[in-house]
Amino acid sequence: MSRLLQKFAVILTLVAMVAGCTTAMPPEAVLSVPAAPQKYASIVVDARTGKQLFEMNSTSPRYPASLTKMMTLYMLFEALTAGRVKKDAGIPVSAYAASRPPSKLGLRPGERIDVDTAIRALTVKSANDVAAAVGEYLADSEEAFAAAMTARARQLGMRNTTFRNASGLPDDAQFTTARDMAVLGIALRNRFPQYYHYFSATDFMFRGKLVRGHNDMLGRVAGVDGIKTGYIRASGFNIVTSYSADGRRYVVVVMGANTARERNAHAESLLERALGSAPDRTRLVFQENP
């Protein structure tokens, strides 16, 4: 791993949690948890310092759903930065990739999609066919790509995450935690600032049609500039939200909500309380790997 990548490697240092919840925010922030206990998890982190402002169930295993595509994009951005891939390169679409269930662009076997469009399809549309095609393009197979994703996650400090595919489609062995997703959200901005703007997009043009996204926090909550939503039935509604304004940066993760509306409202509530809170002693520490 390069020294540049090492600079942004993440390890977690934890203090003891009391009753499974550490908070420096008002208790009313969690009075209305929008999910069943076995699905719900959340965390709020100051992205500048790594200080944790709030957490609940943040180290409990959860299904990532399409938050998985954040790591798929991390791997693609890494390949672009290293010069192994060009933005105008054509990614071939296999029969396997084309067969992935929605959400998808509806690509056909034998087609190619350029890297720039593929990135937009992942960040905006959360297209499963594109995710599989990217995985196969960067590795020998989606299975091999998922193994590489997991290995990179470990190097970033995501020690409780295992990937089994590039899309987040259901797999009982694919799991993560809210804390690990916060680590990934912060690492994406720190490691690839030149590509982070893709996570702010709300739509893009494809074959002459406007493709709209799923992240309703964008454009609705001042200061929110990304990054990714996700849903499968087993996970509930997930989101990683980035806030950057007035010299402050936060990452908010909510997992397992019953509806997208409840998820968004809860993430917004946690963010509002974070903006008025003082940080506690727990932090996510960014440092070089030994």
Instruction: Give residue 36's pLDDT.
Output: 75
Return d(Cα 231, Cα 58) in angstroms, integer. Answer: 18
Helix (H) or strand (E) holding 82: helix 68-82
Is-catalytic flag, 66? yes
Is-catalytic flag, 209? no
Annotated active-site residue in 42, 58, 94, 126: 126
The CATH superfamily of 3-286 is DD-peptidase/beta-lactamase superfamily (3.40.710.10)
Is-catalytic flag, 167? no
What six digits make up the tokens of 45? 């982190």
Instruction: Give residue 236's pLDDT.
Output: 96
Return d(Cα 35, Cα 27) in angstroms, integer. Answer: 17
- The segments of the chain whose pLDDT lies below 70 read 1-32, 277-290
Q: Say whether 228 counts as a known binding-site residue.
A: yes
Annotated active-site residue in 58, 60, 66, 244: 66
pTM of the model as a whole: 0.86
Looking at the DSSP bridge assignments, the partners of residue 237 are: 231, 257
Instruction: Give residue 32's pLDDT.
Output: 67
Instruction: Give residue 4's pLDDT.
Output: 36
Annotated active-site residue in 39, 42, 60, 69: 69
